[in-house]
Structure 1
Amino acid sequence: MFAIFKRCCLLSLLVAGLCNSTLSQANADEGMWLFNDLPTEHLKSKYGFEPTEEWSDKLMKSCVRFNVGGSASFVSSNGLVLTNHHVAFDTLSKLSDKDNNYAKDGFLAKSMADELKAPDLELNQLIKITDVTDKVNEAISSDMAPGDAAKARRARIGEIESAAKEESGLRSDVVTLYGGGKYHLYQYKKYTDVRLVWAPEASIAFFGGDADNFEYPRFNLDATIFRVYEDDKPAKIEHFLKWSEDGPAENELVFVAGNPGRTSRIFTTAALKYQRDVRMPYILDFIRRREVLLQQFGLGGPEMERIAKDQLFGFQNSRKAYMGMLQGLQDPAMMANAVAAEQKLLEKVSSTEELKEYASAWEKIADVQKRKAKKQGQGVLINSRMFSIAQELVQMATEDLKPSNERLAEFQDSGRESLEQQLFSSAPIYKELQQAILADEIARMCEIRGADDELCQTVLAGKNPNDRASELIFNSKLDDPEVRQQIAAGGIDAIKNSDDPLIKLAVAVDDKVRADRKDSEELGEIEKQAYAQISQVMFAANGTSVYPDATFTLRLAFGPVIGYEEKGKSIPAFTDINGTFAHEESHSGQKDFDLPESWTSARDKIPGGTRMNFVCTTDIIGGNSGSPVVNKDLELVGLIFDGNIQSLIADYAYTDKQGRSVSVHSNAIRESLRYVYDAEFLADQLGK
């Protein structure tokens, strides 16, 4: 099916631009557009709609970003925030215990006094975007070695962020765009007092389980509502979305405002092949291994199943997503298109005098891919929560001895509050699960590097992986947030004098971790400079009318609500409540298709024709989960929660022939609150 892709990456767009052709209207709806550079001419010419600055500003400020990875929106003047159940799942799990499993059984606060405070959520509302490209590039000279350039760039970015935060009081992040072609300063208002208001049961939020994940038709109520507070009172929100009375009509133009994670559409063919042949198979092996471990851990009993569920859900979701992406990259037609497009572009560059200086960019990127392939899997491969905490404490103590702009990025003053909120979170850490994960991580590292490897011997300390992990986890006190605060407050002396085994291990491997990070930054700097040159080719051809790759920052996508054809069948744009019950009945006996009792008992109450889910052609990717879907009047008509299987290649390419984003219909949320959950008081607050 990939032969029908309009293009495989931005390279083919460059060819079109350099050949003085224009994008066809058939594929111009592709794009994750910057809010300070929207495609207004295209929207006006194709849809007769021209977004005003007031329109885009209101939509921008009605959206928020979850620090755990996901999107959301304000849907009331008194602080209600709407996102997905699966975005909220991490917080629901942290709020749960053996007696109250909110992640599984759902939750409803009957009053504001009953709303549950999340232990470590931070929501970011984008307030302002400023181009700081010149300020960043001033710090770099052409004769700098890559390592020196990376260090200078990091320092300059730190200076910009710190100055902006000090002046405005807002969270201030410099974002790399166009692979290094531009740098924008994004400034956010932070909300850190976030409370759970309502969540449905997991069995309706993830109805159909792994079998239905990334499929369509769907029948999911993948929604959760929080509320933000300021000074211990519900926040007064100026910019929020009204609630649509009827939702979208078929073929209606809709907009998605959210924070797509990372795309790689500017990648050269060498970079795509590295992803296809090295990086993604490596990641998939890790994901499959962790998925099996978590499944096995959960077989130990109901409580062990509960505490592993959040991570298991995430790894199952990632496994299916990465498999879809890899299959797309392995399609010969897609790669052939990418190679042909790149060759045409290089021919044009070599024959255009003012572009010849950029010809070497592709060779530099190809060389970096070879170097990255050799380094794959050679780092300190320990990925567990408690060990990561130890590493943060050890590195923070050392970095705090330096001026802010000379520190590693995550330890600079501009992001310190967010770092500490996560580091000192009161969310529970389960040592039994941590031990299982750490044991497997140590074993995995020994398998890749060889158990006689010096680093492996340091980590093992004369024991097998299981015993070593037990010693490290059960003798550590880093699961206690007060202990973490004490160590952090004590600085470098506390690290030197600590007898915590995880701290000692983090100290022992810190030189290796830092050396690997330095190497990665140097390779990243070479890529940044090369992609910046490719971006200059783009700008010469098209200006900045080409959207940049996603960076987990707020973007706008748009397209019509429309079904598609698959295997000779017409797939309708909408599903409804009647279909939800029919879907359960057609899968009788399959646990993942059992609706919760609240739904079966309310079957005669909720109007059967109420629309449940719908699809549209909007260009989304991971990170867009929880994004509001709005109409021209900025009324919320839906809630993004998935893409179909044909959309999974969207990291690298876009198609609107079959690829679709999948949303919960606004009516499904409102009517289920009224008729299933007896929460009319909450439904009445939506959009007001």
Structure 2
Amino acid sequence: MLRQTLGGALAAAIALSAAPALADEGMWTFDNFPAAKVAQAYGVKTDQKWLDRVQAASVRLTSGCSASLVSKQGLVFTNHHCVVDCVQSLSDDKTDYVKDGFLTTARTEEKKCAGMQAEVLVSITDLTADIGKATAGKTGIDFVKARDAAKGAAETAACGKDEAFRCQLVTLYRGGQYKLYKYRKYSDVRLVFAPEIATAFFGGDPDNFNFPRFNLDTAFVRLYENGKPIASPQHLIWQSRAPKDGEVTFVSGNPGGTDRMLTVSQLQTQRDLALPIGQLQRSELRGRLIAFGERDAESKRIATDPLFGVENSFKVFYGRQFALNDPAFMEAKRAAEAELRAKVAADPRLAADIGDPWGEIAKVQGPYADRFLRLRQLESGAGSLSELFLFARELVRAGQERAKPSAERLPEYGDAGLALMAKQILDEQPVDAALEQLYLGFWLSKTREYLTVDDAAVKQLLGKESPEAMAARLVAGTKLADPAERKRLWDGGLPAILASNDPMIQLALRIDPAAREARTAWETEVSGPTDRAAERIARAKFAAYGDAVYPDATFTLRLSYGKVAGWTHRGVTIPPFTTFAGLYDRATGAEPFQLAPRWVAAKDRLNPATVYNFVTTNDIIGGNSGSPVLNAKAEILGAAFDGNIHSLGGNYGYDGAINRTVVVATSAATQALEKVYGQTALVKELTAK
């Protein structure tokens, strides 16, 4: 179904993906929003005052999601799946907030989310020329080091030691622009409300990335500072009415990443190498988590959240594979690339400046294939999902890197990022030993399988032990589950790390040279040359199309526009709305279509015609979860929580005919809070003017 769709309308749209955006396409930066185009298409004015208001109320969560301020007292609206890690960490074998929901009646009951930080963008500064000067004439690893050093220095200069802000130098257009994003950060984020997972994720994996949907994928957190809720006068106005068919909508959020500007050779490598290997490992990990959850009730509770994450990722990349396996899709990408190359060739001066970056990137695909598995198993994917190994890796590297000047460190250990890293390491959070053992055993076994038993790094990693025995020994022997021990090692720096006999720390130290070697080889042979060539492709696009081209997503604040609209596929028209009545019709009494007890009891109190979920034409991607969906007055109508099945190819392009954003409506959230959960104080706060 998905493959056939992608071969039709989406391929036609992608044929113009290098050119100015079509229809409702685009995840636009706030300093280059096409206001005139929106006014022409929808008759809506989005002036600077409008943009500033929306920006000031938009929130980025370090859980990888988006959100929005919706009251004067720091109340933030997002998705349930954006805070489920927090809900899980607050639960235990006696109180399961994931299963039963998290409700509060007073501020004193709001509980801190470990490791979570909220960020509000306050300014964007163009530093493209500065980075260009710092990297002039450099290639390969020298280019990477010079760029990263310049970025780190810029971040430090912009934020200094002011702990209220976080600065991030962002690469846009794959090197065509570099901009400094400055955020007001809030490190004390507390959970206010989360429904039961049976309600938030009603329909489970079968309904995921589909529509009709019936999900209350909502949650509220509150931002605190100095022990008190922050004042947030620049919040969005909560609109309790239902959206209207055809109504203009805007989505303000932080799309995590897209690959719409990749060359054809890069897409072929994704299709033939990176995606299949990732899917094989996700598939096996999914099976292991299912088996783990079948042990007993407590194991099922522990595995619920990670299984959801793995299944969601599997479905996302499944859709991407189908897109790249579609011949018409790839032919459209070739046509778009050929069009841009022809424009370059037609201008001798431009051609002399640009050269042949497409050919250079194609040559890099050989080293990419040679280096990919080693990088994945020893560096980028090391430890699988193990929190304990992540703690060890970051403690070891922080100890090593903090001993150097900031400009000489690995970029993630620069001064600008250390505060957040320390918070995520040191905040108290539960660690399940059995699940950790599963993750470590899986990673060790896959590393041995992919790199082979005879590989020097595998021998260094495992010695004479089996993956399963080593995983059991590491988890049983480590003290890193104790935040006090993590703090001791963080504060003690490299001397404390080197003196530690903790087996997880020893593992991280033992594998670190091989991991760094894999990373250096990758930056020298793959990412360095690729990034240098991609800069010139970006210059070619600017020369051909000006600023009418939007950048790939980078988990930074973007604004998309569209409207409430269903779609027609293969002769079947899908209406844009679902209702409470549809929820009760869809319920079967068996998972994942089983209603939570509160919803069974509340049926007669709810208006069955209330709009529950709806779809829009807005262009979004992962990371937009929790983004506010706004009307022309910048009032909030809902929160984006998913895309339809046709949108899974949206990583590579947008098709306005069938790509849809799936939204949970404020009309449903308001009524549910009041009539299902009895959260009258929360409703009063939301609806206060």
TM over 0.5: yes
Indicate conservation of the 8 Å contact 2:580/2:608, yes or no: yes
Q: Does 1:508 align with 2:510?
A: yes
Hey, what's the Cα distance between the residues in 1 that align with 2:360 and 2:147? 19
Equivalent position of 1:414 in the other structure:
416
Hey, what's the Cα distance between the residues in 1 that align with 2:281 and 2:43? 48
Q: Does 1:349 align with 2:344?
A: yes
Which one of 110, 122, 127 corresponds to residue 117 of structure 2? Answer: 122
Hey, what's the Cα distance between the residues in 2 that align with 1:638 and 1:499? 51
1:138-179 deviation per Cα after TM superposition (whole angstroms, max 9, x unaligned): 11122x231111111111111100011117652000000000
Identity of aligned residues (%): 39
Q: Does 1:155 align with 2:158?
A: no
Q: How far is 1:13 from its partner?
A: 4.3
Which one of 171, 179, 187 corresponds to residue 176 of structure 1? Answer: 171
CA gap 1:598/1:328 in 2 versus in 1, 3 angstroms: same
Q: How far is 1:6 from its partner?
A: 5.7
Indicate conservation of the 8 Å contact 1:75/1:686, yes or no: yes
Equivalent position of 2:291 in the other structure:
296
Structure 2 counterpart of 1:382, one-letter code = G
Q: How far is 1:618 from its partner?
A: 0.2
Equivalent position of 2:649 in the other structure:
649
Calculate the TM-score normalised by the size of structure 1.
Answer: 0.96
Q: How far is 1:7 from its partner?
A: 5.7
Q: How far is 1:425 from its partner?
A: 2.0
Q: How far is 1:348 from its partner?
A: 2.8
Q: Does 1:282 align with 2:285?
A: no
After superposition, residues 13-412 of structure 1 pair within 5 angstroms as: 13-14=17-18, 27-142=22-137, 144-166=138-160, 169-357=164-352, 358-379=354-375, 380=378, 381-383=382-384, 384-412=386-414
SS in structure 1 at match of 2:603: coil
1:332-367 deviation per Cα after TM superposition (whole angstroms, max 9, x unaligned): 110011112222322332232122132410011112
1:184-219 deviation per Cα after TM superposition (whole angstroms, max 9, x unaligned): 111111111111111111111000111100010011
1:81-113 deviation per Cα after TM superposition (whole angstroms, max 9, x unaligned): 111011111111111111111112101101111
Hey, what's the Cα distance between the residues in 1 that align with 2:259 and 2:431? 34
Structure 1 counterpart of 2:389, one-letter code = F
SS in structure 2 at match of 1:686: helix
Q: How far is 1:247 from its partner?
A: 3.0
SS in structure 2 at match of 1:339: helix
Q: Which runs of 5+ in 1 are unaligned?
A: 18-22
Hey, what's the Cα distance between the residues in 1 that align with 2:50 and 2:237? 13
Q: How far is 1:521 from its partner?
A: 2.5
Equivalent position of 1:546 in the other structure:
549
After superposition, residues 366-515 of structure 1 pair within 5 angstroms as: 366-379=362-375, 380=378, 381-383=382-384, 384-515=386-517
Q: How far is 1:622 from its partner?
A: 0.3
Indicate conservation of the 8 Å contact 1:11/1:268, yes or no: no
Structure 2 counterpart of 1:540, one-letter code = A
Equivalent position of 1:20 in the other structure:
none
Hey, what's the Cα distance between the residues in 2 that align with 1:9 and 1:487? 53
SS in structure 1 at match of 2:119: strand
Structure 2 counterpart of 1:645, one-letter code = I
Structure 2 counterpart of 1:657, one-letter code = A
Equivalent position of 1:608 in the other structure:
608
Hey, what's the Cα distance between the residues in 2 that align with 1:8 and 1:473? 52
Q: Between 352-361 and 146-155, report the one with greater CA deviation.
A: 352-361
1:46-96 deviation per Cα after TM superposition (whole angstroms, max 9, x unaligned): 111221111101101101011010000001011111110111111111111
Hey, what's the Cα distance between the residues in 2 that align with 1:132 and 1:431? 46
Hey, what's the Cα distance between the residues in 1 that align with 2:604 and 2:575? 25
Q: Between 166-175 and 631-640, report the one with greater CA deviation.
A: 166-175
Hey, what's the Cα distance between the residues in 1 that align with 2:188 and 2:148? 31
Which one of 529, 532, 540 corresponds to residue 532 of structure 2? Answer: 529
CA gap 1:174/1:11 in 2 versus in 1, 3 angstroms: farther
CA gap 1:8/1:374 in 2 versus in 1, 3 angstroms: farther
Structure 1 counterpart of 2:410, one-letter code = L
1:199-258 deviation per Cα after TM superposition (whole angstroms, max 9, x unaligned): 111111000111100010011100001111122111110211101141321001100001
Calculate the TM-score normalised by the size of structure 2.
Answer: 0.96
Hey, what's the Cα distance between the residues in 2 that align with 1:250 and 1:10? 27
Q: How far is 1:10 from its partner?
A: 7.3
Q: Between 467-476 and 211-220, report the one with greater CA deviation.
A: 467-476
1:617-646 deviation per Cα after TM superposition (whole angstroms, max 9, x unaligned): 000000000000000111101110000000
SS in structure 2 at match of 1:629: strand
Structure 1 counterpart of 2:238, one-letter code = W
1:479-531 deviation per Cα after TM superposition (whole angstroms, max 9, x unaligned): 11111111122222112211111111111111111111122223222222211
Structure 1 counterpart of 2:149, one-letter code = A
Q: How far is 1:595 from its partner?
A: 0.6
Equivalent position of 1:2 in the other structure:
6
Hey, what's the Cα distance between the residues in 2 that align with 1:459 and 1:8? 48
Structure 1 counterpart of 2:160, one-letter code = E
Indicate conservation of the 8 Å contact 1:195/1:227, yes or no: yes
Hey, what's the Cα distance between the residues in 2 that align with 1:431 and 1:219? 35
Q: How far is 1:376 from its partner?
A: 2.1
Indicate conservation of the 8 Å contact 1:11/1:345, yes or no: no
Which one of 555, 559, 563 corresponds to residue 562 of structure 2? Answer: 559
Equivalent position of 1:665 in the other structure:
665
Q: How far is 1:12 from its partner?
A: 3.1
Q: Does 1:682 align with 2:685?
A: no
CA gap 1:10/1:180 in 2 versus in 1, 3 angstroms: farther
Which one of 573, 576, 579 corresponds to residue 579 of structure 2? Answer: 576
1:585-624 deviation per Cα after TM superposition (whole angstroms, max 9, x unaligned): xxx2531101111011010101111110000100000000
Structure 1 counterpart of 2:643, one-letter code = G
Hey, what's the Cα distance between the residues in 1 that align with 2:687 and 2:561? 21
1:413-461 deviation per Cα after TM superposition (whole angstroms, max 9, x unaligned): 1111100001112111111111121112111111111123222122222
Hey, what's the Cα distance between the residues in 2 that align with 1:101 and 1:340? 53
CA gap 1:481/1:570 in 2 versus in 1, 3 angstroms: same
CA gap 1:503/1:11 in 2 versus in 1, 3 angstroms: farther
Hey, what's the Cα distance between the residues in 2 that align with 1:613 and 1:129? 34
**RMSD, aligned CA:** 1.5
Indicate conservation of the 8 Å contact 1:8/1:652, yes or no: no
Residue-pair matches, total? 675
CA gap 1:275/1:265 in 2 versus in 1, 3 angstroms: same
CA gap 1:67/1:8 in 2 versus in 1, 3 angstroms: farther
Indicate conservation of the 8 Å contact 1:615/1:662, yes or no: yes
Indicate conservation of the 8 Å contact 1:9/1:266, yes or no: no
Q: Between 429-438 and 181-190, report the one with greater CA deviation.
A: 429-438
SS in structure 2 at match of 1:139: helix
1:386-413 deviation per Cα after TM superposition (whole angstroms, max 9, x unaligned): 1121111111111111111111112111
Indicate conservation of the 8 Å contact 1:11/1:266, yes or no: no
Hey, what's the Cα distance between the residues in 2 that align with 1:238 and 1:172? 23
Equivalent position of 1:518 in the other structure:
520
